[in-house]
Amino acid sequence: MSSKIGKYTIEDDEKFGSGGFGQIFLAKDGEEGEDKKHLYVIKIPLEDKMTGEDKKVFNNEIDILNILSKIPKNKYTSIIYDSQKFDDGEGLPFYVMDFFSKGLLFDYVASGSMNERLAKFIFRKVILGFQFLHSNGICHLDIKIENIILDKDFWPVIIDFGFSRKYKNENGEIIPQTNGGGTKQYKAPEIQRGEEFNGEKADIFSLGATLFILVMGYYGFKDSREDNYIYKLIRKKKYEEYWKLFGRELPEDFKNLYLSMVAHNPKERPTFEEILNSAWLKDVSNLTEEEENKIKDELKEKYDNFKSENEVFVEEKIDSEKLETRGGGDDENDIFKDRSLKPKKITKGRLNINKSIKINGNVDEIAFMNNLANKIIEKYKDNCYVEASKKNLKFEVEFDNEGEEEKEEENSESKMVVELFKYEEGGYLLEFRRTGGNVPEYYKRFSELKEIITKINEN
C-alpha cells in the first residue's frame, strides 16, 4: 500500500532511514502506476519525540535549504522541492529533496580507510562545496562525514543544515556566532568553551577533523576541550608527540595541512583558497577527464565492495527452537505466536540502503525470528530490550548504554528494526533499519548481529 504527500508517492510506506527525531522515506513523483523518472527522499519528524528546540532545528533546516535552492548552478548542496514547517498550516511537517544514490561518505571510510589519492580527490570537492556555502554567507556548523553524501557521479553533496546559519551580513561583514551545534569529535575548541566564534573558522576546524578521518579511517582526537590529552598536544604544538600516537608514516604535506586546519587559535587556520592551493592537494587540482574517470572507477569499486560486505549468506535451511523472550507486550514464549504471520514481499525496484543479510534456503520463518530475538537478549542481557510487531515478522531492539564513557556520548545508544523480507521461494532478506542512535554505533551493532546469525546457522 502506498501513501502520498502532495504529488509525491511513498512506495509501500517503506522507511529506509531514520535517526534522531526524523524518519526518511523513498518517494517518486507522479500518479501511482505511472513511470516515474525521479527519486526523492521525504523527511518527516517524529513530533512526539521532539523538544521545542528540535522543532526550531527542523524549521531552520527548511529555511536554509530554501535559500540554497535558489542559488543558480548549485551542485554542492541538497535542493528542497517542497516542505511544511512546524506551526505552518495543518498536516505533517516534512521536506522533500533529491535521492542521492551512492551513499554516505561515512560508508566509504567505514569499509576501510581510503588510499591517499582517493582521499585527496574527495576532500578537494568537499572543500569546493563548503567554499560555495560560505561564499553565500552560510556556515554549516555540523560538518562530519555522515553529513556528506555522494550522488550518482560520486560528487560529494552537503546535507543536514539544522544548525546552519547566516554568518555574514548584507555588506559581507562577519557576524559573531554563539551557541554552536555539531558533534564533539569535530567541534572547534572555541565552541566547546561557549565563546563567541567565527562561523567560517569553526567550519574549517571541522573540515580538518574530517580530513583526518578520510585518510586514517578514525578520529584524530575525541574532542577539542582543554582537558583532552590528545588534542592538548596540538594545542601546545607538541606535534612530534601527537604523530607518535598513530604509529604510521604520513606525508609532511598532509600533516601540515591537517594541523593548520585544526589549530587551536582560529586565526591560524587557513582560508578555503589556501586549502585548495595547499601542497597536499596540488596533484588533484587539474585532473584530466580521463584521470577523473579512473578515480571514479575506484570509488565505484569501493562502493560495490562495501555494499557486498554488508551481506552474509546463510546457505542451508535454518531450524531453531523457541526460547523464552520478552516483547510483544506479554511474557509468552513465542513472540511471533500467530502462525499466519509471513514476511513482507520486497517491493519491485525497491532501493535497499540499510544493512542487510541474505538468507538462502527455506526457513521456519517464525521460529527463526524468535531464535534471533532470543540470541540477541542472551548476548546483551539487561542492556537491550526487544519488542515484536504483532502484524509483521519484525521486532525493534534497543541497546542501552554500556559504561560511563558511552553515557557521555550523545545518542550513543542504538535502536534498530529487524525485519524479514521474502523476495523469492527460498530467498529472504533480513534487514536492519536504524531508528535511533548514531551511525558508528549502528555499524558496530550490526557487525555483532552478523556474528549471531552466522552462529545460528552453524548450530
User: How far apart (Å, rounded) are the C-alpha atoms in residues 19 and 225?
Assistant: 26
Q: Which of 281-285, 399-403, 416-420 has the lowest mean pLDDT?
A: 399-403
Pair (263, 147) in one structural domain:
yes
CATH number of 77's domain:
3.30.200.20
Predicted confidence at residue 321, as pLDDT, reads: 59
Structure-block grid coordinates of residue 424: 523469492
In this structure, the answer to whether residues 314 and 288 fall within a common structural domain is no
262-285 in b/e form (b: 16+ CB < 10 A) is bbbebeebbebeebeebebbeebe
Indicate whether 379 and 287 sit together in one domain.
no
CA distances from 447 to 16, 135, 251, 442 (A): 19, 41, 32, 9
Question: Is residue 403 pLDDT above 60, yes or no?
Answer: no
End position of a domain, from candidates 248, 280, 302: 302
Q: Does residue 354 share a domain with residue 324?
A: yes
The SS3 call for residue 220 is coil
Q: What is the rounded distance in angstroms from the CA atom of residue 74 to the CA atom of residue 104?
A: 19
Confidence of residue 305 (pLDDT cuts 50, 70, 90): confident
pLDDT, one tens digit per residue, over 110-168 is 777 688 999 999 999 999 999 999 999 999 999 999 899 999 899 999 999 999 999 98
- Going by C-alpha positions, the residue among 42, 60, 65, 213 that lies closest to residue 133 is 65
Residue 85 and residue 43 in contact, taking contact as beta carbons nearer than 8 Å? no
pLDDT at 341 over 60: yes
Radius of gyration of the chain (CA): 23
pLDDT reading at 47 higher than 90: no
CB 30 within 8 A of CB 8: no
Picking from 302, 330, 361, the residue at the C-terminal end of a domain is 302
Asked whether residue 186 falls in the same domain as residue 266, the answer is yes
DSSP assignment string, 73-123: T--SBPPEEEEE-TTSSSS--EEEEE--TT-BHHHHHHTSPPPHHHHHHHH
CATH of the domain at 226: 1.10.510.10
Q: How far apart, in Å, are the Cα atoms of 184 and each of 45, 143, 224, 248? A: 24, 11, 8, 25
Q: What is the mean pLDDT of residues 45-54?
A: 82
Number of domains in the chain: 3
**pLDDT, mean over the chain:** 84
Residues 190 and 41 in one domain: no
224 and 367 inside one domain: no
Q: What is the reported pLDDT for 404?
A: 37
Contact 416, 435 (CB under 8 A): yes
| Predicted pLDDT of residue 353 | 64
CATH code of the domain containing 348: 3.30.310.80
* Residues 429-442: tens digit of each pLDDT: 899 988 877 777 78
Regarding whether 249 and 158 lie in a shared domain, the answer is: yes
Given 249, 273, 302, the domain boundary residue is 302
Across 49-58, 141-150, 388-397, the highest mean pLDDT is recorded for 141-150
Instruction: Provide the 10 A C-beta neighbour count for residue 35.
Output: 6
Q: Which of 18-32, 138-152, 220-234 has the lowest mean pLDDT?
A: 18-32
Q: Do residues 177 and 134 make contact, with C-beta atoms less than 8 angstroms apart?
A: no
% of the chain residues with pLDDT over 90: 43
Choose between 186 and 326: higher pLDDT. Answer: 186
Q: Do both 392 and 436 map to the same domain?
A: yes
Residue 357, SS3?
strand
222 with 279, same domain: the answer is yes
Over range 409-420, report the average pLDDT. Answer: 73
Q: What span, in angstroms and rounded, lies between the C-alpha atoms of 456 and 359?
A: 12
* Cell, residue 382: 539487561
Q: Are strands 94-98 and 427-436 parallel, antiparallel or unpaired?
A: unpaired
Distance CA 63, CA 175 (A): 18
Whole-number Å distance between alpha carbons of 282 and 363:
56
Range(s) of the domain holding residue 7: 3-98
Residue 16 has pLDDT above 70, yes or no: no
pTM of the model: 0.79
Same domain, yes or no: 278 and 347: no
How many Å apart are CA 161 and CA 156, to the nearest integer? 15
- Do 348 and 420 lie in a common domain? yes
Query: Which is it for the CA torsion 137, 142, 147, 148, positive or negative?
Result: positive
Examine the pLDDT at 355 and tell me if it is beyond 90: no
Query: Nearest CA to 213 among 311, 290, 119, 139?
Result: 119
